[in-house]
Amino acid sequence: MTAASTPWRFVTPIWPVLAVLVIGAALLSGPFLSPANIAAVLQQGVITGIVALGMTIVLIGGQFDLSTGATVMMAAVLALLLNPADGTSTVLAILLPVALGGVIGLVNGLAVYRAGANSIVATIGMQFLVIGAVLALVSGQHVRADNMSEMFVSLSRARFLGIPYSVYIFLGLVVALSIIMSNTVFGRHVYALGGDIEAARRAGVKVVRTGIATYMISGMLAALAGVLIASLVGNLDPTAIRGYEFPALTAVVLGGTSLTGGVGRPADTAAAIWVIAVITNVMTILNYQYPVQLLVQGVVLTAAVAFYSWQRARS
């Protein structure tokens, strides 16, 4: 059974891991299951999770997007520079960064699928370009927006049933992308690209158009994550929000997406995000230091990669 045709009822290994971790966390720490802490766990991975969803689509297609961290920075800075104090400026502060993220994805897609550039090299180059442009724009200074509108602030701070709106945004994206990847021609074509790009081309798949679309989705989602950061903090140091691409890539791999393409699901990436969030949360509650948390996350990731490699070798 291929990833493209995987039914919704099929449970990949990351979900039982998540269930075991939640049960273990509840047994080790009473406060873990408090409503406030559950909401914190759900919110903890939202920014990285949205970035990871876009990277999942690109990686299923057999390519990498390492420019996402820079796109997050760009979007957060631009959203604050637009000073979303009223309805019009708020809409602009949301849509313009996301649109520019799509443009960054378009350029990446053209470089990789039209010009034939190596995706790692091309997207790292884009990363440097975007970071340099952003830092030049703000002269390396902090960026802030005064009197942000309630609508803009509510994107990340408002709650429904005790859960932040940003969590619902993330869940909506997971559902939408899962449907797209499982039940549309576009989704099947993305899996075909990652499985065998030449075979996909011979089968009539519009390789360039489909590949560019994956990068545009990734860029727009990374930009949305940046807008949510701006909504949450309102005042930021651009250099402090670099580097989201590597935690996101960690979650993508932990969720079982193949580094060679053709295998993966957005929902599994979401589960991986929550695995990392649960581990971090419970170790924080138990007062483990940050280096120990990194060590445990590293062990979990290494074990996951080894398991997936063994599983694919068997199949």
CB proximity list for 40: less than 8 A, separation 6 or greater: 281
- Model confidence at 202: pLDDT above 80: yes
Share above pLDDT 90 across residues of the chain, in percent, rounded to a whole number: 57
Least Cα distance to 63 among 190, 202, 233, 203 occurs for 190
Q: Are 252 and 264 spatial neighbours (Cβ–Cβ below 8 Å)?
A: yes
pTM: 0.91
Q: Which amino acid is at 88?
A: T
Domain over 3-314 is classified CATH 1.10.3470: yes
Q: Do the bridges between strand 159-160 and strand 143-144 make them parallel or antiparallel, or are there none, so unpaired?
A: unpaired
Question: How does the average pLDDT of the chain come out, rounded?
Answer: 89
Average pLDDT over residues 272-277: 92
Q: What is the reported pLDDT for 91?
A: 95
Q: How confident is the model at residue 296 (pLDDT cuts 50, 70, 90)?
A: confident
Average pLDDT over residues 118-131: 96
Please list the residues that pair with 143 across neighbouring strands.
Answer: 236
Q: What is the reported pLDDT for 11?
A: 67
Higher pLDDT, 157 or 79: 79
- Model confidence at 1: pLDDT above 60: no
Q: What is the pLDDT of residues 13-31, one digit of tens each?
A: 889 889 998 998 888 877 8
